[in-house]
């Protein structure tokens, strides 16, 4: 069956870490990346760290086939650089319908004062490329000779794996409240990044979905403009040690405490069946690198129990450090088949 990993806040929740962990722990036969190159995922494993924008974070499992869904967008340059940087040549494939961003779209976006200064675009050309796709003017992966050897029918490949009884993982990007349809418009991204949008970009129907894992960080961050309920002053965020920067842009992330109202709504609209909480160690320093729930500090356990009781969805995966395997896996304890 297909497991979907989706962001629950404004992106930057740690989906890359969770997808990497799941690939290493569950060994899915394939992982499908959706979204585009304006969203970066950071993966840290065995002493190395990668900042990737289109290669699936499941690349850390050398046996997992890597796919890019037909609804995704990339540039040939970013894709080529990441394939080389992650060493996944020969096991990564993209659908012929993947949209290709060129320098033209990047230049158009960077010249758009509204997008850059009001919306806070990452200036990667994604918005302009998506608009051209809607107008049926964008070139696709099938139009590029250098990509010919990597093209496969991704939806058919995914369905074939599932029908053989294999596990497939779909990796979403950004977060629920950056969704074009469900976020704080106009300060959103150019696509639907909820679970339904991810499924659409993979290209398969909902009957194939087994689990929807929604990822929240132990606090909320946002890059760029738009609402952020409960936003902390930079000085307060500094005092709490909650300082982060965007993977793609390097911009400082705005910060607010964990927001139950936002989390509950995101769970509802995404149909989440599991919750993952990352960066628990940022709130509770003694939780750093803990891999067993019993060894967490009591205050961390109380915090998690309260969050779970309010969200009414099991917290199954808890991130306690930047390393992929610095994760507490409670799925079996919570009665979820792995």
Q: Say whether 291 sits in a helix, a strand or coil.
A: coil
- Beta strand 92-94 with 30-33 is unpaired
Neighbours of 85 (CB within 10 A): 13
Query: Residue 34: which domain range?
Result: 2-329
Rg (CA), the chain: 19
11-20, 140-149, 215-224, 242-251: range with lowest mean pLDDT: 242-251
* 203 token code pair: 């290209």
User: pLDDT band at 160, cuts 50/70/90?
Assistant: very high
Q: What is the mean pLDDT of residues 243-252?
A: 72
* Higher pLDDT pick, 244 / 192: 192
Neighbours of 185 (CB within 10 A): 11
Does the pLDDT value for residue 136 go beyond 90?
yes
What's the whole-model pTM score?
0.95
Looking up residue 122, the CATH number of its domain turns out to be: 3.40.440.10
Q: How far apart are CA 304 and CA 315, in angstroms?
A: 8
Number of domains in the chain: 1
Does residue 334 sit within a domain?
no
Q: How far apart are CA 325 and CA 331, in angstroms?
A: 15
Q: How far apart are CA 186 and CA 227, in angstroms?
A: 11
* Angle formed at CA 214 by CA 273 and CA 11, multiple of 5 degrees: 165
Contacts of 127 (CB under 8 A, 6+ apart): 109, 115, 121, 190
Does residue 30 sit within a domain?
yes
Does residue 335 sit within a domain?
no
Does residue 270 sit within a domain?
yes
Residues annotated as catalytic (active site), given as ranges: 12, 41
Does residue 259 sit within a domain?
yes
């Amino acid at each position: 069956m297909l497991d979907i990993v989706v962001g629950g806040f404004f992106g930057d929740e740690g989906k890359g870490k969770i997808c990497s962990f799941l690939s290493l722990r569950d060994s899915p036969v394939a992982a499908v990346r959706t979204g585009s190159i304006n969203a970066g995922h950071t993966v840290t494993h065995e002493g190395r760290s990668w900042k990737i924008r289109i290669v699936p974070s499941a690349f850390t499992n050398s046996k997992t086939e890597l796919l890019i869904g037909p609804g995704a967008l990339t540039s040939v340059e970013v894709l080529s650089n990441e394939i080389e940087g992650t060493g996944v040549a020969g096991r990564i494939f993209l659908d012929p319908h993947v949209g290709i961003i060129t320098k033209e779209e990047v230049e158009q976006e960077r010249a758009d004062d509204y997008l850059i200064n009001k919306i806070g675009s990452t200036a990667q050309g994604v918005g302009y490329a998506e608009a051209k796709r809607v107008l049926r003017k964008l070139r696709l992966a099938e139009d590029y000779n250098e990509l010919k050897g990597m093209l496969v029918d991704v939806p058919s490949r995914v369905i074939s794996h599932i029908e053989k009884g294999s596990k497939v993982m779909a990796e979403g990007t950004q977060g629920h409240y950056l969704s074009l349809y469900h976020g704080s418009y106009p300060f959103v991204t150019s696509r639907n990044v909820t679970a339904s949008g991810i499924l659409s970009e993979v290209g398969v129907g909902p009957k194939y979905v087994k689990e929807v894992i929604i990822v929240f960080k132990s606090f909320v961050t946002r890059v760029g403009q738009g609402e952020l309920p409960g936003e902390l002053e930079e000085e307060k965020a500094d005092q709490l040690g909650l300082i982060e920067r965007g993977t793609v842009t390097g911009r400082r992330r705005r910060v607010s405490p964990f927001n139950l109202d936002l989390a509950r709504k995101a769970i509802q609209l995404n149909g989440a069946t599991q919750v993952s909480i990352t960066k628990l160690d940022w709130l509770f320093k003694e939780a750093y690198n803990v891999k067993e729930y019993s060894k967490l500090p009591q205050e961390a356990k109380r915090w998690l129990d309260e969050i779970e009781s309010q969200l009414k969805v099991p917290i199954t995966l808890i991130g306690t450090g930047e390393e992929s395997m610095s994760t507490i896996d409670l799925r079996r304890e919570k009665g979820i088949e792995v």
